[in-house]
Amino acid sequence: MDMSLANKNIVIAVCGSIAAYKIAHLTRLLVKEKASVQIIMTKEAAEFITPLTLSTLSNNPVLIDYFDPKTGEWNNHVHIGLQADLILVAPATANTIGKLANGICDSLLTAVYLSAKCPVFIAPAMDLDMWKHPSTQNNIRLLQSYGNTIIHPGNGELASGLIGEGRLAEPEEMLHFIEKSFSIDLPLIGRQALVTAGPTHEAIDPVRFIGNHSSGKMGYALAKQLSELGAQVTLISGPTALESPKNVHRISITSAQEMLEAVEQYFIQSDIIVMSAAVADYTPIEVATQKIKKKEDQFAISLKKTTDILATVGNKKTEKQLLIGFALETEHEIENAKSKLIRKNLDLIVLNSMQDKGAGFATDTNKVTVIDRFEHIQEYTLKSKEEVAKDICQLIVDHPILSLN
């Protein structure tokens, strides 16, 4: 694919965070790719890394204020915003994210953002509690609703000493997002995708749970393929030993309730929703606080239904969203899959049959049949789950919902 950055005008907007040191390396990488890099800093950012360092690496003066008293020149925020081919706000602090989300314009950086006509990428960096705070998450959703792309922070040791989500993405990762945005042959560029994968575990006591044999391999393959086609992918995953696909934002959950909450958080801004997780249908009414001892010959657990996540999403989806569900059947496969597609307001349903050797849970292969809402049926042969993911993603790329929006 063609991802040349030569002669592209990249604006990097640097905020006041200890993670600002990573921008030096990112600038080197961009210049090496022959991009033209213009750096804008807040006054606070200049306390963490010097403008001299970044101007030397970028071969351009670093801009901080509207007016430069040394040169007598006016830094025209409208001109900068219109000339940019891409703006990257990194590290994006909670303070600046709040300003961008709510249209507060009190610096050259925020004025350039509001003047931009190009793609805007935002790479947050902050402490775990600040990142998880509802106000920050709401601001992130607002920015995504404006069409901005979020380069999600990574997990690791934070400046506070806490360990968790909040680390600024590595320079190579940010470079990948920038390169991908200029690709001329990635059909899902600018699209937000949400994928669920793996099982859920419903606790009985501190050591036991109700679960299923789902490995998550199909969902992970779909997340990887959607990302490679240009989509920004959020993967909500139940317990699995699989490694996260590269450049995919993974959210790890355990129970059906946790999956529901995560899906509801990310569903609204998603263009493509692929619900491949094997969610438990029932969960214990009461969870023992201590390990249940083996005493009785017979033991009963009272269960209650979990919320039907797929139906919940189907009831909320708009005509601009593409919703794909999965069905694993043991009998009357086509009839049951069609019924599920209609009842849950799906656009496509992917049918797995337990009768097909090599398909189903925990295998490296799968054999699927895809049905759309017009009851068109497309059968595929037994393939690796990576190849099955490519087939399904091709149907996604070609679907009228995406081509019309």
Extended beta strands in 93-224, E state: 120-124, 149-150, 154-157, 163-167, 192-197, 202-203, 209-210
d(CA 257, CA 222): 23
Read off the pLDDT of each residue in 25-31 and give the average, rounded to a whole number. Answer: 96
Average pLDDT over residues 7-24: 95
Helix, strand or coil for residue 38?
strand
Mean pLDDT of the chain: 90
Q: Tell me how far apart the alpha carbons of residues 80 and 36 are, in angstroms, rounded to a whole number.
A: 13
**Least reliable range by pLDDT among 10-24, 58-72, 239-253:** 58-72
Mean pLDDT of 343-363: 80
Q: How confident is the model at residue 361 (pLDDT cuts 50, 70, 90)?
A: low
d(CA 117, CA 128): 32
Beta-ladder partners of 251: 236
Q: What is the mean pLDDT of residues 218-243?
A: 94
Phi (first) and psi of residue 329, to 5 degrees: -120, 155
Say whether 366 is catalytic: no
22-32 and 171-181 are packed helices; what angle lies between their axes, rounded to 10 degrees?
40
> Between 295 and 12, where is the model more confident?
12
Rounded to 5°, the CA angle 342-223-273 comes to 30
* Per-residue confidence (pLDDT) for residue 405, from 0 to 100: 65
Contact in structure between 178 and 86 (CB atoms under 8 Å): yes
- Asked if 83 contacts 53 with a C-beta cutoff of 8 angstroms, the reply is no
Cα distance between residue 364 and residue 303, in whole Å: 32
Identical topology for domains 9-181 and 192-289+299-403 = yes
Q: For the residues 128-146, what does the mean pLDDT come to?
A: 92
Topology annotation, domain 9-181? Rossmann fold (3.40.50)
**Which residue among 9, 60, 95, 212 is the active-site one?**
212
> How many Cα atoms sit within 13 Å of 138 on the Cβ side?
6
Please tell me which of 5-9, 87-91, 325-329, 354-358 the model is most confident about, judged by mean pLDDT.
Answer: 87-91
- For residue 12, pLDDT over 50 is answered with yes
The predicted structure's pLDDT at residue 145: 85
Examine the pLDDT at 369 and tell me if it is beyond 80: yes
Domain boundaries, the chain: 9-181, 192-289+299-403
Confidence of residue 6 (pLDDT cuts 50, 70, 90): confident
Q: What percent of the chain has pLDDT over 90?
A: 71
User: Residue 163 — very low, low, confident or very high, per pLDDT cuts 50/70/90?
Assistant: confident
The stretch 308-321 carries a mean pLDDT of 95
Of 364, 158, 401, residue with least CA distance to 271: 401
* pLDDT, tens digit (0-9, with 9 covering 90-100), for 66-86: 777 676 677 778 888 888 999
Assess contact for 147 and 48: CB atoms under 8 A.
no
**One-character DSSP codes across 138-167:** HHHHHHHHTTPEE-PPEEEE-TTS-EEEEE
* 192-289+299-403: CATH superfamily: CoaB-like (3.40.50.10300)
Mean pLDDT in residue range 190-214: 93
pLDDT higher at 17 or 295: 17
* Per-residue CA distances from 249 to 124, 175, 246, 399 (Å): 13, 16, 9, 24
How do beta strands 232-237 and 192-197 pair? parallel
Alpha carbons 139 and 100: distance in angstroms, whole number = 8
Q: Which of 31, 11, 192 is nearest to 116 (CA)?
A: 11
* Mean pLDDT value of segment 273-299: 91
- Compute the average pLDDT of residues 369-390: 92
- Kindly tell me the number of DSSP H helices and DSSP E strands found in the chain: 14, 23
Residue 350: its H or E element: strand 348-353
Q: Give residue 363's pLDDT band: very low, low, confident or very high (50, 70, 90).
A: confident
The pLDDT-based confidence of 133 (bands split at 50, 70, 90) is very high
Q: How much is the average pLDDT of 205-214?
A: 91
DSSP 381-395: -SEEHHHHHHHHHHH
Inform me whether the pLDDT recorded for 1 exceeds 50. Answer: no
Sign of torsion, CA 53 57 60 64?
negative
